[in-house]
Amino acid sequence: MKKLLFINAILALSLSSLHAQKDNWHKKRISPTLFENYMSLPQDKNVKNGAYNVANVDNKVLVLGSYKNNVKDSIWNFYNITGDIIQSYNYSTNQMLYHVVDPSTIVKQKVVIDTTLSEDDKIVAPQKIGGVNYGFYLIHSDKALPVEVKQQKNDILMEYVFSLSETGKLTDWHIVYTSTFFNDDRKQSISGLPKDAYEFTAATVNGKPIKSVLIYQVMLYVNQARDKGTYNVVTQQNQ
């Protein structure tokens, strides 16, 4: 009888532990197309602590990492939409461990270095931590496109232009639209963005950190939008 009570007690504790872990998981929308899923402290759901991931609306995981008392901890992996790792970043040492160009994204990257260079200079370009695809969808919304853009019949090049300090800190950003009949440059506020949108690595020349500009480039196929009211998925060209 005592043995049976002991087993029942262990089972109850195990179920209680599983229930507590489930209760500590939270889901939150961080952009129009991205959701974060995270564990928290039992006593405070706003303090991230434990496993963390970000997935898109198709439930494809783009980010895997962990928090310790609301601080990003250790090595995080970032994935493209096909499930391949495109970046690994160590938040404990603030080092980019691995980075490759994402072949599956519609977002192209352009970099401008703020200095005069020679052929012998060793240049390390700035990078968006998490990759340009993740960075773009953290802040892009089809519904937020200007009315003038939605009225165009020609394809439009949209560029998100980020000015970065010597330490990789975001100091300014604006959106440039370029097409046959519409060209515009719109300054954006650097406040109120999702936390991950601010994370960049600094550019260096010969080991010395310098100012730089990093640009996300995306073609807008406005005339192909199926829903003229919201212009959904105008970044996806019909095949």
* Domain chopping of the chain, boundaries: 23-101, 105-239
Question: 3-state DSSP call for residue 22?
Answer: helix
| pLDDT at res. 23 | 60
Strand pairing report for 34-41 and 25-31: antiparallel
Averaged pLDDT, 204-222: 94
Split at pLDDT 50, 70, 90, the class of 233 is: very low
Averaged pLDDT, 92-96: 96
| pLDDT at res. 119 | 82
Burial tier of 191 (Cβ tally within 10 Å: 0-12, 13-18, 19+): exposed
Strand order in the sheet with 123-124: 123-124, 203-205, 208-210
| pLDDT at res. 151 | 86
Dihedral sign for Cα atoms in the order 48, 50, 56, 58? negative
Is 66's pLDDT higher than 90?
yes
- Across the chain, what does the average pLDDT equal? 87
Residue 167 DSSP code: T
Least confident of 25-34, 61-70, 82-91, 140-149: 140-149
